[in-house]
Chain A
Amino acid sequence: EADIYQTPRYLVIGTGKKITLECSQTMGHDKMYWYQQDPGMELHLIHYSYGVNSTEKGDLSSESTVSRIRTEHFPLTLESARPSHTSQYLCASTEAGGGGYTFGSGTRLTVV
């Protein structure tokens, strides 16, 4: 079972609302990632972090922001949600040696 937790699992929210998607891991991994995945499509990297106070944007341009104040916590925030943000958001982490990722269960976001 994955030791990386994402909440909420599902979220339906109105346009213009501010939302934060939570991601926490208990494995002490330094590296954490956020991917966005539309149904039937590949995962696109939107943010990553190599440690506390380190965050970088990924390949896919995203209006979301992230923070990494604690090793175990890597939340993603949308200041003003729009229907174009409707997607699944996957959080992952890996150890410093760069092995395979451990993924969370994802947050399926719908903006109406």
Chain B
Amino acid sequence: AQSVSQHNHHVILSEAASLELGCNYSYGGTVNLFWYVQYPGQHLQLLLKYFSGDPLVKGIKGFEAEFIKSKFSFNLRKPSVQWSDTAEYFCAVRDTGRRALTFGSGTRLQVQP
């Protein structure tokens, strides 16, 4: 079965620091990859997605992610975080044989002003 690993469970950064959140998945075939964000008290929102093409994907709010097929990874990055980026971030994967997304356990990001 597909699995998704997010190695960082809780990350604390100061404003303006750079961010990289790790995501690795287990399926070796064709995959669709997603990052979702959940701000405190709000619903999950799509941050960015990768289906095919350029492995460097740009999303909303200055986030980007890079798909590295050889490493089964889809890490999320932002050059300079803001206090408003405080949220929980979920990586998700859908492989071609599966009907729904498989989510990682999430990374809680806390940005200190």
Is B105 touching A41 in the complex (CB atoms < 8 A)?
yes
Asked whether, in the complex, the Cβ of A106 is within 8 Å of the Cβ of B43, the reply is: yes
* Interface positions of A from 74 to 112, Cβ below 8 Å from B: 90, 92, 98-106
Partner of A105 from the list B43, B94, B105, B108 (CB cut-off 8 Å) is B43
Compute how far the CA of A2 lies from the CA of B44 in the bound complex, rounded to whole angstroms: 9
Alpha-carbon gap, A35 to B106, bound state (A): 14
Number of interface residues of A (CB under 8 A): 24
Contact partner of B44 (CB less than 8 A), chosen from A58, A90, A98, A99, is A90
- CB pair B1–A43 under 8 Å, yes or no, is no
The one of A2, A33, A41, A42 that contacts B43, using a Cβ cutoff of 8 Å: A2
Q: Which residues of B contact A41 (CB under 8 A)?
A: 105-106
Question: Once the chains bind, are A100 and B34 in contact (CB under 8 Å)?
Answer: yes
From B36, B99, B102, B108, contact of A50 by CB (8 A):
B99
Among candidates B44, B49, B106, residue contacting A103 with C-beta atoms closer than 8 Å: B44
Binding site for A on B (CB under 8 A): 1, 4, 9, 32, 34, 36, 42-46, 49, 90, 94, 99-106, 108
Name the distance in Å between B76's Cβ and chain A's nearest Cβ: 15
Measured in the bound complex, the distance between the Cα atoms of B49 and A45 in whole Å is 20
Indicate which residue in A40, A43, A56, A105 contacts B103 across the interface (CB closer than 8 Å). A43
Q: What would be 15 A-B contacts, judged by CB atoms less than 8 Å apart?
A: A33-B100, A42-B90, A42-B104, A45-B100, A48-B100, A59-B1, A90-B43, A99-B49, A100-B34, A101-B36, A101-B44, A101-B101, A102-B46, A104-B43, A106-B43
Flag if A103 contacts B43 (CB, 8 Å). yes
A92 to B101, CA, bound (A): 11
Most buried by B among A43, A56, A100, A106: A100
Q: Are A40 and B105 in contact (CB under 8 A)?
A: yes
CA–CA, A106 to B43, complex, Å?
7
